[in-house]
Amino acid sequence: ILDGLRIMMVVLLWILLPSTTTGIKLDGNGYVDVIIAISSRVPQDDTLIDKIKEMVTEGSFSLYDALNKKVYFREVTILVPPQWNGTNFTKARTESFGKVKRIMPFYLASYGVEPYTNQYGECGAEGEYIHFTPEYLLNDTFIQLYGSRGIVFVHEWAHLRWGVYDEYNRDKPFYHSNSHIEATRCSEKTGGQFFDVTAGGSLQPCRIDPQTSLPTKGCIFFPNRNQITNCSIMFSPSLDPVTAFCQKNKHNYEAQSMLNKKCGKATWTVIFEDSVDKDALQTLKPLESPPPPPSFKVVQRTQRVVCLILDVSGSMAGPRILQQRQAATHFLRYIIEDQASVGIVTFSTSASTLSNLMTIDSDITRENLIKLLPNVASGSTNMCLGLSRGLQVLQEDNGDVLGDEIIFLTDGQATDNIAGCAPSAIQSGAIIHTLAFSNSAAHALTEMANKTGGIFLAPNDNIISNQLMDAFASLSLSTGDYTNKPVQLESVGARTSDWFNGTVSVDQTVGNKTSFVIIYEISLPSIFIQSPSGSIYTQTNMSNDDLYKTVTLKVLGTAEPGDWKYSIQTTSNQAFTITVTSQASHDVVPPIIVKTHMNQQFNDGTKPMTVFAEVSQNYRPVINAEVWATLESETGLTHTLQLLDNGAGADAFKDDGVYSRFFTKMLNGRSSLKVRVKNQDGQTRFAVTYVPGYVINGVVQLNPPKPPVSEEPLEVGNFTRTATGESFEVKLSGTTPLNFPPNRITDLSAEIQEDTVLLSWTAPGEDLDQGTAKSYEIRWSFDLDMLRSSFSNGHAVNTAGISPQKAGSDEKYSFNLSFPIQNCITVIFAVQSKDNQNATSETSNIAQASKIPPGPPGVSNPCINLIILVISVCVETMVICFIVLVTRRAVKLRKRFAERKVALTIANKFQINPYA
C-alpha cells in the first residue's frame, strides 16, 4: 500500500466554490465563478495548467454545441498549491480547495485515471466536484480510451451542474426488449456488437446465463466508432459523432440505466426542467455566433493568516466565556497549522487587539497565544467594531486581507447595526467563518459566511454537546492533502455522578500527535486511559489546568493502533466531555476522514432535508461503517438518525461510502449537525469505467489495456471518527406538523420464474425513508410508456398479502398474473406506496422481466430463433399455397383451352360462329 501511495499522483478537484456571491452562476450565456483546484500533493508541472486550459476551452465549445448554442464557459479560475513557484500567480481571495460545494466521492479513481463526478443527490441536484488526475490530463493516450477531454468534461459537467445521471449501468449492462438482447445505452440507435474478451485478448461470442437469459458477466458491448446518431454524451462521450444530449424523442426509456433509475426522464428534460439552471435555460436565446474562448486566472493561496475575533460582552460571562476559552485553546494547540499566522481581537463596548499576527513556529508560540485568550466578559455587543479591528490586524502582514481568514464568535444580537458593516467585510476579500453562540445572534453572520466562502456554525452552550469545541475543530482549511490535518476521532459528553466510560479506536492511518482532552464542569475527576497493549495513563501522565477545568493527555510518538479505553470517575454530579484528535501516521498515507453536511442551509418546510456523510480514505469509499447523525436544535432538542449506504431512499448509490438519510423532524430556528462513525469491519472499494474497444468498419478493434487499478477491497480495521457540519436554519410557515409521503422506490427489480413473478425492492418509510409505509400498489403492463406516464391505467396486482416492512428492509413479493405467461413475453412493473394519511409516493423506477425459454447450446437468444422458426414455417406454407394455387390455375386454364379447341373444331366443320 505504501509503495503504491508513494508513486501516486493524487488528484485535481473541480470545485463549486462560493466567491463573493453564491458560487458558479450563469452571467448571461456564460458560466462564471468556476474554480479548478490542484491538490497540494501534486508536484509542480506548469504543463498541467496549459492542459487544463485546453480541456476547458474545448469543453466550452462542446457545451455550446450540445445545448443549442445557449451556454459556454466564460471565466475560470485555477487554484494552484501553496508550494508551487510562479511569478504569474495572483493571490487567492475566497477560493479554497477545502470549500467544496459539498463532499463525497462517486466512484474511486485515485488508483486509476478515469474522471468522475462526486454526485449523490436526487435527480436534478448539483453534484459536489469533478475529479481528474494529472496523469489523465498529461497523457494523450487516454483520449483514445475515454474520448476527447473537452467532451468528457461536458459529460462530467452535466453530472455536476445539472444532476444528470449516466445512461449506462455497470451492474445491468444488458436487458431484454421485444425478445432481443439489448445493451443498456441511449440512444437505442447506438449500434455495436457483443463479444467476450478472453484472457489472451481474443474475441469470442458471449455466452448466455441460463438463469437470466442475458449475457454472462464479461460480455461487452462494443459500440461502432462511427454512429448514425449524435447522442448521447451521457452514454459514451468517446464516440466521434456524439455531440448532443439525448432528447425526449430519442431517449431509450427501456434501458436499465442509472438515468432511468434515478430520473425516468431524458437528459435534455432533466437539464431544462429539473436542474438549477432550468429557468435561465428556458429563457436564454441562442448566441448568434460562437462564443469567445474562456478567460483564465491562476491564483495561489499561501500560508494561512487567521484572526480570532471573540465576543467578551456581558452576556458571555460565566460558562460561555469559559467554553470560548477552552475551544479557542484547543484550536490554537491542535488545529491551526504550523507556519500559519494568528492574531486575536476581542470586542464588547469597544474592541481590543490582544495579539497582532504571530507565526506558529513552535509549541511555545502556541502557548503564548493561549495565555492571551480572554477570561472575563462585560459591556455591550458591538460587532462592527470587532470586525473593523480584526480586518486591521489582518492587514499587518502585506497591507491587504485577500484570502485571509476571520473566525468571528458572538453570542448575541448586536447593539450596533451589523447589517450595515457586513457588506464592507464581505467585499474585503477575507474568508469569514462565523459562530453564533446563541439563538439570538444576528442573521448577518450567516450571510457573511455564505458570501465569503466561510463556514457558519451555531453551537449551543450545552456542555455535554461539546459543540463549541467541535466548531473550532472543524475550522481547518484544506489544500487537498489530509496527511497534515487534524482528524477528530471522538467527541462525546455525559453527565454523571459515577463512571463515564468509552472506547476510541485508533486505526493504522492515524496515530501522530494524538491527544485526549477531558473537560469537566465542577471538580477534577479520576481519569484512566488504557492503551491497546494495556498501558495505563493517569493524571500523573496528563497536564491539568484547574482554572479552565481541562485535563490533557498527549500521546508521545505514534499512538498504538487498536482500542483505547477511557474511564472517568466522579463522586459529584457533573458534566464531562472528551475530545480525541490525531493526525496521519505516515506522510504518504492519507487518513480515513469523515465529512458531513445537509443538502440545504435553509428550509421552509416545503421539502425534506437530507443528511449526508462521506467516509473515505484517499478518495476511496469506506463501506460497512456504522454512521449516526445527531441534529440538535438551538433549544437543545435532539434527533438521532442512522445514516445508510444502501442505495435506497435518500441514498443514491449503494456502497459508495456516502451515508444518507432524510431529515423530517424539522423545528423552527437554527440547528447543528454532528456525525459519529464506528467501524468494526470496514473496507474500501474501487470502481472505474473503461472503454475496451470499438467496432470500426464492422471489425472490433481493442483499445490498450486499462490502467492498472486494484479492485480488491482494502481492510481498514476498527476506527472511530466524528465530524461537524455547517449549521442550518428552518423557518416553518405554519403550525401543522410536517408530513411527507413515502420515498420513491428506485431499485425495483423483476424476474419471471415459470409462471411466477418475483419483485424485489427496498422498503420505503411512513415519512420518506423513516418508519413503515402502510401499503403498496403494484401495477403491470405490456406498454412501458403507458405505465410510466399513467400508473393508474396499468393492471393492478393483488397486494393483500404484503405487509410492508420497516424502511430500509429488503422487500420481496411473488405472485401469479391472471394469465399464463407465454415464452418471449416482456412484462413491465411499477410500484407506489402509501402512508397512514394515504399520501402516495412517486411512481418507482420501471422494472421489466422477460420469460425466455432455455435454448440449445450455441443459441444466444431462443426467442429470436423461435421467431425465425415461426417466420420460416409461415414462409414455407405461403410458398406451398402459392404453388398449389398456381398449379390449380394452370390445370383450369389447360382444361378451358382444350374445351375451346374442341368447340372451334366443331364450329369450323359446321360453319357455325363460335362466339354466337
DSSP string, 192-231: EEEEEE-TTS-EEPPPB-TTTSSBPTTEEEEEBSS-S--B
Asked if pLDDT for residue 106 goes beyond 50, the answer is: no
Q: Are 205 and 887 in contact (CB under 8 A)?
A: no
H/E stretch holding 422: helix 418-427
pLDDT at residue number 21: 38
pLDDT band at 111 (very low <50, low <70, confident <90, very high): very low
State mean pLDDT over 663-678. 92
Asked if pLDDT for residue 788 goes beyond 80, the answer is: yes
Asked if pLDDT for residue 791 goes beyond 90, the answer is: yes
H/E stretch holding 4: helix 2-7
Amino acid at 743: N
pLDDT at residue number 914: 45
All residues at 6 or more sequence positions from 411 whose CB lies less than 8 Å from its CB, including other chains: 311, 313, 315, 316, 320, 381, 436, 437, 438, 440, 441, 461
Q: Are 412 and 382 in contact (CB under 8 A)?
A: no
Residue from 475, 318, 470 nearest 408 by CA: 475
What single string gives the DSSP state of each residue in 462-491?
A: -GGGTHHHHHHHT-----S-GGGS-EEEEE
Place of cell 480584526: 390
Q: CA end-to-end span of the chain, whole Å?
A: 110
Higher-confidence position of 356 and 441: 356
Higher-confidence position of 620 and 556: 556
pLDDT band at 530 (very low <50, low <70, confident <90, very high): very high
State mean pLDDT over 688-701. 74
Find out whether the peptide bond into 187 is cis, omega within 30 degrees of 0: yes
Highest mean pLDDT among 117-121, 383-387, 884-888: 383-387
Q: Are 831 and 777 in contact (CB under 8 A)?
A: yes
Asked if pLDDT for residue 303 goes beyond 70, the answer is: yes
Pairing type for strands 810-816 and 626-633 reads: unpaired
pLDDT at residue number 94: 83
**Which DSSP symbol is given to 334?**
I
What's the distance, CA 226 to chain centroid? 33
Cross-strand bridge partners of residue 181: 176
Q: Are 617 and 716 in contact (CB under 8 A)?
A: yes
* % of the chain beyond a pLDDT of 90: 61
Residue from 732, 600, 579, 619 nearest 665 by CA: 732
pLDDT tens-digit map of 181-215? 999 999 888 999 999 988 888 899 999 988 788 89
Q: Are 250 and 167 in contact (CB under 8 A)?
A: no
pLDDT band at 351 (very low <50, low <70, confident <90, very high): very high
Residue from 94, 212, 706, 684 nearest 448 by CA: 94
The answer, as to whether pTM is greater than 0.85, is yes
pLDDT tens-digit map of 846-856? 999 888 776 54
pLDDT at residue number 916: 44
Distance CA(692)–CA(221), nearest Å, equals 9
pLDDT tens-digit map of 26-82? 999 999 999 998 888 889 999 999 999 999 999 999 999 999 999 999 999 999 998
pLDDT tens-digit map of 754-786? 889 999 999 999 999 999 999 999 999 999 999
Cα Rg of the chain, angstroms: 34
Pairing type for strands 192-197 and 203-204 reads: antiparallel
Q: Is the dihedral of CA 360, 364, 365, 368 positive or negative?
A: positive
pLDDT at residue number 213: 83
pLDDT at residue number 244: 94
Helix axes 149-162, 46-66, angle to 10 degrees: 70
Which set of grid coordinates corresponds to residue 407?
A: 473566525
Asked if pLDDT for residue 837 goes beyond 70, the answer is: yes
pLDDT at residue number 6: 33
Asked if pLDDT for residue 913 goes beyond 70, the answer is: no
Residue from 53, 71, 51 nearest 62 by CA: 71
What's the distance, CA 414 to chain centroid? 38
Catalytic residue numbers read: 156
**Which DSSP symbol is given to 76?**
E
Which set of grid coordinates corresponds to residue 498?
A: 459515577
Least confident of 2-16, 536-550, 875-889: 2-16
251 φ, ψ (degrees, to nearest 5):
-75, 140
Q: Are 717 and 743 in contact (CB under 8 A)?
A: no
Computed over every residue of the chain, the mean pLDDT equals 86
**CA 376 to each of CA 321, 467, 469: distance values in angstroms, whole numbers, following the listed order:** 7, 21, 19
pLDDT at residue number 152: 93
